[in-house]
């Protein structure tokens, strides 16, 4: 597929401005604490790297990888942990950072799993939100942009492991 077939939805400048706004809000709300920022691999790695560099509070960093049970599709149902975090979170403020909320299945499952470890608090920051695709009720605490039901790539998001490196978010067309 040629890059020319992809329309830019969010430019680097738009993303940068929005990430700073989110970081400012998060910094205010976490003032006096040292949250553990948990990135969901792989999609969140670019967003998380930008977000933490704009925080005004100290934070710890860890990563988790989730895998769907059953078929290989992203939204087949319950999830299990593919790679766990290495940090104990009991009594800790945890901020999960994810690339996109789609059906809501991944994050609702992940929050449930991590809650069993008794963190002091657990919140979710998602770069993108496709609200109309929800299958289970789920609200992220912080959202970069809400988008309609388009498949998007870039800024960490992929299609079959491609296009994660784009510095902006583009709409993938003609994917079949």
Among 46, 85, 93, 99, binds ligand XMP (CB under 6 A): 99
Chosen from Mg ion, ligand XMP, none, partner binding at 101 (C-beta under 5 to 8 Å by type): ligand XMP
Distance CA 81, CA 78 (A): 10
Q: State yes or no: is 149 an active-site residue.
A: no
Q: Percent helix, strand, coil in the chain (nearest 5)?
A: 25, 30, 45
Torsional sign, CA 112, 49, 148, 76 = negative
Q: In what order do the strands lie in the sheet with 169-171?
A: 7-10, 169-171, 152-153
Which residue lies nearer to Mg ion by CB, 30 or 127?
A: 127
Catalytic residue among 50, 93, 102, 129: 102
* Stretch in the footprint of ligand XMP (CB under 6 A) among 5-13, 24-32, 80-88, 100-108: 100-108
Binding stretches for ligand XMP (CB under 6 A): 43, 74-75, 98-106, 151-153, 157-158
């Amino acid at each position: 597929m040629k890059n020319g077939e992809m329309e830019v939805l969010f430019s680097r400048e738009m993303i940068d401005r929005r990430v700073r706004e989110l970081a400012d809000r998060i910094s205010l709300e976490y003032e006096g604490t040292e949250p553990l920022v948990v990135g969901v691999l792989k999609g969140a790695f670019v967003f998380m790297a930008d977000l933490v560099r704009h925080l005004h509070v100290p934070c710890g960093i860890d990563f988790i990888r989730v895998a769907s049970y059953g078929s290989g599709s992203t939204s087949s149902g319950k999830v299990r942990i593919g790679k766990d975090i290495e940090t104990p979170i009991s009594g800790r403020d945890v901020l999960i950072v994810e690339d996109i909320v789609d059906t809501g299945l991944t994050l609702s499952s992940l929050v449930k799993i991590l809650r069993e470890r008794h963190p002091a608090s657990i919140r979710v920051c998602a770069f993108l939100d496709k609200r109309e695709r929800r299958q289970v009720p789920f609200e992220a605490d912080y959202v970069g942009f809400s988008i309609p039901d388009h498949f998007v790539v870039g800024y960490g998001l992929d299609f079959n492991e491609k296009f994660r490196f784009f510095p902006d978010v583009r709409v993938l067309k003609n994917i079949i």
